[in-house]
Amino acid sequence: MTDTVPAQTLPTGDQAVEPPPRAHVPPPAGQRARKPPPALKGTDPLDEDFATRVRGAVWSIRQDYREAFRGLWVNTLAGSTMTPRALRYLMLKVSAHDVRSPLIRPGVEIVGSHLSVGPGAAIARGTYFEALAPISVGHSTHIGPQVLVLTSVHPVDAAGHVSRQAELRGVTIGSKCFIGARSVICPGVTIGDGVVIGANSTVVKDCLEPGVYAGSPARLRRSFTPSD
């Protein structure tokens, strides 16, 4: 039987025109709250009036500069292959993120400012964290190359209209997990302690029971016993 992604509850009727409000994510300790983007209506940017377009352009420019400066420190400098691991660890420690492990390889890309990495966690090259909402990685967890951890979703209504306003949903990855290469961890997912995710899997719902999950969508393939 072919695997299918489970259907989600979608807005109907007028909700296609008035998308749900953006989820509030509190800023990290010591940081000022950022001004939210202008309210968006509908699914086509050409439907916006001129004033809304101007406000959106100004907000986008400010956002781009903030991301550029943050990315320069976290991704370009700390994430460089020329940066020793110990120095990368210190640079991430003084960033907006809560990083408590030096086992982060070069080439890891972090967007946003809500990433927490526990002691002993190892992050391989090419991993992408969309830390616009909180992402928590437990201690002693290993994340393979080119894994995508996402936190934003654009709801689709029954008529096929995609909301331009993203909803943010945090991701929790427990302790002593193993996430295989090129897996995709979707917004809002919780992965329990001791879970193994097979390579190239798409995790669309919680994986709480210790065991091996694989496929697209990922399903429990083998449960662990104490002897494992």
CATH of the domain at 129: 2.160.10.10
Q: Give yes or no for residue 56 having a pLDDT over 80.
A: no
Peptide bond before residue 217 is cis, with ω within 30 degrees of 0: yes
* Reduced 3-state DSSP string for 190-220: EECCCCEECCCCEECCCECCCEEEECCCCEE
Distance CA 54, CA 177 (A): 46
Q: Is 19 inside any structural domain?
A: no
Please enumerate in sequence order all residues whose Cβ is within 8 A of that of 52, keeping only pairs 6 or more positions apart, or say none. 38, 40
Q: Is 30 inside any structural domain?
A: no
pLDDT given at position 157: 86
Q: Is 34 inside any structural domain?
A: no
Give the mean pLDDT of 188-201: 97
Q: Is 26 inside any structural domain?
A: no
pLDDT given at position 61: 75
pLDDT given at position 4: 44
The string of pLDDT tens digits covering residues 68-127 is: 667 888 999 999 999 999 999 999 999 999 999 999 999 999 999 999 999 999 999 999
Q: Give yes or no for residue 130 having a pLDDT over 60.
A: yes
% of residues, the chain, pLDDT over 90:
60
| pTM (predicted TM-score) | 0.75
Amino acid residing at 201: S
Q: Give yes or no for residue 217 having a pLDDT over 50.
A: yes
Give the mean pLDDT of 31-39: 55
Cα dist. 180→47, 73, 143 in Å?
42, 27, 7
Confidence of residue 129 (pLDDT cuts 50, 70, 90): very high
Greater pLDDT, 25 or 174: 174
* Domain limits for position 210: 42-223
DSSP state of 104: B
Q: Is 27 inside any structural domain?
A: no
Residue 187 CA to its chain's centroid (Å): 6
Residue 114 known to be catalytic:
no
Q: Is 207 inside any structural domain?
A: yes
> If you search the block for the tokens 């909301």, which residue do you land on?
163
Say how many C-beta atoms besides its own lie within 10 A of residue 49's C-beta: 8
The string of pLDDT tens digits covering residues 137-178 is: 999 999 999 999 999 998 888 888 888 788 999 999 999 999
Q: Residue 74's closest CA among 116, 112, 37, 123? A: 112
Asked if 145 and 126 count as a contact pair (C-beta separation under 8 A), the reply is: yes
Asked if 198 and 215 count as a contact pair (C-beta separation under 8 A), the reply is: yes
First CA to last CA distance, the chain: 29
Q: Is 20 inside any structural domain?
A: no
Q: How many domains does the chain have?
A: 1
Please enumerate in sequence order all residues whose Cβ is within 8 A of that of 53, keeping only pairs 6 or more positions apart, or say none. 45
Q: Is 1 inside any structural domain?
A: no
Which of 24, 114, 139, 154 is the catalytic position?
154
Give the mean pLDDT of 200-215: 97
